[in-house]
Chain A
Amino acid sequence: MGSLSSLYQDMILDHNRSPQNYGRLENANRRVEGHNPLCGDQLTVWLRMDGERIEDAAFEGSGCAISTASASLMTGAVKGKSRLEAEALFEQFRRLVTGVLTPGEAETMGKLAVFSGVSEYPVRVKCASLSWHALKAALEGPDTVVSTE
């Protein structure tokens, strides 16, 4: 089960079991709901923006291990980043999970690189990307709903 263990790496299982930044964010000024109608995954992402900077980020919802761990690591990764930095990271993440990022580039992504195995499972790309799509929408404006479809 080579590729299965590359998909379900320990860090992903850990973040699924104990997600970080989980729960409603107090004083948030951005809130976006994300849906994956294919599997029923549903999550909410909150941001507290200080001008162009993401001061804090959190999420809540139900989803598979890939989607939950991705939201956990995403919220951790974008905290303190500027809007432009976070958008660049989203683009890099998108390339990572669709398998077009070189291994060298993936190494620069830190913990997020654990999602490289997703590229072998095309149907799981949406799981891994759901929270990122919500993040992108949240950066663009408050209170919207995004869907992976």
Chain B
Amino acid sequence: MPDDHSVAVLGVGMHPWGKWGRNFVEYGLAAARHALADAGVAWTDVQFVSGADTIRNGYPGFISGATFAQALGWSGARVSSAYAACASGATAIAAARAQILAGLCDVALVVGADTTPKGFFAPVGGERRDDPDWLRFHLMGATNPTYFALYARRRMELFGATEDDFAAVKVKNARAGAANPNARYRKEVSADEVLASPMVADPLRLMEICATSDGGAAIVLSSMDFARRHGGGRSPSVSIPAVSTVTPRFPQTVIEMPNFATDSAVAVGALAGPAFRRSIAFAAYEEAGIGPEDVDVAEVYDLSTALELDWYEDVGLCKEGEAERLLRDGDTAIGGRIPVNPSGGLSSFGEAIPAQAIAQVCELVWQLRGQASGRQVEGARVGVTANQGLFGHGSSVIVAT
């Protein structure tokens, strides 16, 4: 992979996921300090701080970049804060990477953290009759799991996915997450337990829909030159050669949160290019000059068990309609041909939204360094993350040794 679009990953860190109920700044600060220590970089040597804003009812919450910079102690570093819903972390990484590649800074710190309330995500309070996110709750009672369930049911009817398949995804991810000290849920589960959990949005059950969590993640990025100087002439062990932050292409023919309807395709016939979810990772592959066949490990956004299966196809691990076979053959479990979500995924973490896309990258860095004790994908050299944020935010990061 060419160096010219690569930035080095000097350090990564997390605050464990949970339902701690403390201020998000505390989690972000802990993650940042871990990442700086892992990098061997002093906070005062960081030139650019890139924060992923917290999310409140679908919209940006607290300012992150300056908040974390202040908590670490004002140092004069330049700053940016990003909001892209679930993709905010990748957008923050993209901002830092662009600064580095433009030669505007050598070392950047990316941080995301959040504290979340219990239960369903709800929209902003009050009367917001011009806000589709408010209106979908008011007029349809359509929660986030409603949309996940529409995709899941369609998978069942089009491709023959079964409730057992969905449960098997949970069993796989729980097993991986049990070995991850940063995961919130660290207990193996059986398929029977999953299938006995209450139905939330048919066909999805409680244990198949990701929870909302508190957590924080951080990454220290630098130019490849700085990394070589910092490493006494050695090349950095892990780098990021591509970041995709694509938006959809018209017409978007899959119903997406928080919309009431898809685009109309009458003016252009069928969708010419790939559907949005499929375009996300492929934009990153193209930028890195690789293809899905080069990937050894993937972290995908399993908001539901069924959605993980969609991602197998959308990141190109198999053809459309073949995800169930991949799962049933054990290909996506640790030890399989192409392990997916060795971290345990959202299934084991729950969503701490601005931290989540950063956490996906942290996991791949640990995997590629051989530091993922108890859940290691042996010999992994290239990893991909994939994620999609509310309102049309794609996110995919390639991590390579």
Q: Do A and B come from one complex?
A: no
